[in-house]
Amino acid sequence: MRIRILGCSGGIGAGARTSAMLIDDDVLLDAGTGIGDLQLAEIKPIRHVFLTHAHLDHIAGLPMLIDSVFDENFDVPVTVYARKETIRAVRTHLFNDEIWPDFCKLPSRDNPMLRFSVCNPGDTVTIGHRNFHAVEVRHSVPSLGFTVRNSGGVFAVSGDTKTNETLWPVLNACDDLRVLVIEVSFPDEQEGLATRAGHYCPSTLCRDLKQLNHNPDIWLTGMKPGQEERIYGQVLATAPDKNIRMLSRGTVIDV
C-alpha cells in the first residue's frame, strides 16, 4: 500500500495545499486542494473517496474531481464514504445545482456518476486488499479518523480532532500499527483557540500520545501556514521519546 501526500496544510499560500492523500491509485482520503496538483491521468482512476468531515479544507477539491472524472458512459461510479452529517452538508451546500451540478443525478438519476455511502464510527469498508475502519474523533463538527489495514500493517489518520477518548483504544488494538498521521493545528500559545476550534496543540497532543502503547512513525499534519516550525519544535520538545516528523506535500509512505 502506497500513500502519497497531496496536501497536509491547515491553509493555502506559498505552495501549501490542504488535506488530501492518495492511497495506491484509486482511493482518496480527504479531497482538499492538494488533489489539484494531480495530472489528469492520475485523477481518472480514482473511484473511492473517504471524507473525515465536511470542512472546506477537506472537501474543496471534491466537486472539481467529480467533474474531471465524469463520463456519460462510465464503468465504475465514484463513491464517497462519510458520516451522514458530512454527506448531508456536502449534498446540501456543494452538489445542489447552484454551487455545483448535482452529479448524484448525472448522467441520470438511475445511474449517477457520484454515489454516497454512509460510514459510521466502527464501520469497516473493504476495497481490494485494504480495510478502511472508521473511528470516532472530537472536532467542532461530526468527524472521523481512519485506520487502513493491509497485509503490511496499519496506517492511521486522526482527521481533525482535539483531546479524545475514542481514537487511542482503537490504535492500541492495532498490534501492527506502522504509521500514524495526526493533526496539530496551533502552537501552544493558542491552546485556548485550538480547543475551541476542535484541534490539538503540541501540549494537548503530547498528553494524548502518552496513551499510545505502540511506537509507530508519527507524522504531523494540518499545521497553520507560517506556524509549522514553531509547532514542530514544541512537539519535539514535549515528546522527545517519540519518532515524530513533520508531514510535507509530496511525501510517500509505504505500508
pLDDT per residue as tens digits for the range 62-96: 999 999 999 999 999 999 999 999 999 999 999 99
| Bridging pattern class, strands 114-118 and 78-82 | parallel
What residues contact residue 122 under an 8 Å CB cut-off, 6+ apart?
Answer: 133, 134, 136
- Whether the full predicted model's pTM is greater than 0.85, yes or no, is yes
Q: Can you tell me the mean pLDDT for 125-149?
A: 98
pLDDT at 14 over 90: no
Name the helix (H) or strand (E) containing 43.
helix 40-43
Mean pLDDT, all residues of the chain: 97
Sign of the alpha-carbon torsion through 134, 249, 209, 193: negative
Read off the CATH number of the domain in which 132 is found: 3.60.15.10
As for how many domains the chain has, the answer is: 1
187: domain range?
Answer: 2-254
Residue 42's Cβ-count burial label (10 Å; 0-12, 13-18, 19+) is: middle
Sign of the alpha-carbon torsion through 221, 132, 4, 30: negative
Residue 185's Cβ-count burial label (10 Å; 0-12, 13-18, 19+) is: buried
